[in-house]
Chains A and B, each alone.
Chain A
Amino acid sequence: MGNNKKVLVVDDEAHIRRVIEVKLKKRGYQVITAINGKEGLNLIKTQKPDVVISDIMMPEMDGKTLCELTNSLKKEQSFLTIIMTCRISADEEGWTDDMQDTLFIEKPFSPSRLVDCIDQYFGGPSE
């Protein structure tokens, strides 16, 4: 059940954090949450999560800045980054080309699909 992998959920929307947290915990993942990029960055450095799920549009520090700042940390300890995007044009994801282990999931998404992506990253369904 999740092999105690640690997932950080970064979103300023409480409802989104809540539903992802419930879904992941049911699959056996440890979940920690942050309400913006700045708080998320601190948790990545201190808690060293295995997966970071982040919204883009957030106060204080947005998801894009968070990704750019944490990409270099992946050399020491790799982790998967999943960006929740409200994509409005096809080319707006170009900035992730140079990012290591970074995926997009477009809003509105299915929680099951999100967890499947994480499972696949860790080598198949955790169940």
Chain B
Amino acid sequence: MNAIARVLSKPVHRAAVAIAIPLLAVAASAAPASATTIERVVSASGIEAWLVREPAVPLIAIDFAFTGGAAQDPAGKAGTAYLAASTLNDGVGEFDSKTFHERLEHKAIELNFSADRDALRGSLRTLSENRDEAFADLRLSLTAARFDSGDVELNRAQILSALRRATTSPTDIANQRWWDIAFAGHPYSRPANGTLESVPNITIADLKTYAHRALARDNLKIAVVGDIDAETVKTMLDNVFGALPARAELTPVANAGPQGVGRRAVVNLDVPQAVIEFGGAGIGRKDPDFMAAYIVNHILGGGSFSSRLYQEVREKRGLAYGVSDSLVWYDHTALFLGSTATRADRSAETLDLIQKEIRRLADDGPTAEELAKAKAYLNSSFALNLDTSSKIASLLVQLQRDDLGIDYIARRPAMIESVTLDDARRVAKRLLNGGLLVTVVGKPEGVASTAPTAN
């Protein structure tokens, strides 16, 4: 049937999707030669892309990311990168917004931009037969965006509408409250799409300045997947990205860890179900303990129906529809973050249960059986990340941004296998002993805010 109200999935793992793009559970195992033969392609002018050639379906997917996202927003102007990204595919060069959208739509070219805390990201999808027009359109967006006042004002109004809606959405409030406390004083505390106060302050000059500073060649990572060969990619790279400035002009962003660990913050809202967000310091993507932490997190609250949190909170007690947590990493912090939603009168029980499970895993570590199962899962599930062009393109950009090497997918199974039970126990302590910052939105019975100093 039709409307989504009719389509009910069993357990939607809400996970940290609202929180992090860099989450892409990077996992890999023996994957098909065809789908994982990654070529490093470098154009005549030195622009690099990773290519997976796949001629079976007549389409091309290009994903790319410029480091320098919302964390670059000037003080008082949070949302600048986001508004700029929203307007990049409106008027460009000689085309006003209407004409440009007609061009794209007539050829079914999908060209989208977004900004998160760390990066401005773009994606292009085209049928191979329309690739030349698609590449030309992408070049115009990156180098000749007009930022016409009508387009900017419409995008601004749409963003403000979304921000107003977020003020009464329990999920949005819980998430934003968490980041407000955890990153007070740091650019990461601000929502990528800005605030009701900041978005009206952003000028067209701000958008142009941002685009000029951030859209450059030295902070750019590109992935190309589909029905295209390396020579064509090289020409495309120079044509599309060659006119960008060589160097980005980015403001340094400080590394930071979450503050407020040990604290609970309750926001009252008149809804029947309390939304809970919890998290603490994580382990960095390039930390030698990352893979052990990734496994430990999988056992605690990762993606399968067998995680400890899922079993205890949902399966045994029926306290929630979903509960999960994820390792999340950004360019300047690493976290573990989880969430759930539960009835008001059992909020305290749910929260205590989650904290008890985290403590138990920190104290005792996983069992040998859990470790073996988690390794098997993380190894063989990786192929599921490689079965569409879009997934592969997204993964290849992430591997480049994380600087993991073009051979990472081949090395990953051994990295997982090498984690011992002792490693897992030690890292469980390191990851889970630091305490939690918890935010709760709703009418949770028996859960109160605690003082910022409590631990």
| Bound together | no
Q: Interface on B for A, CB 8 Å cutoff?
A: none
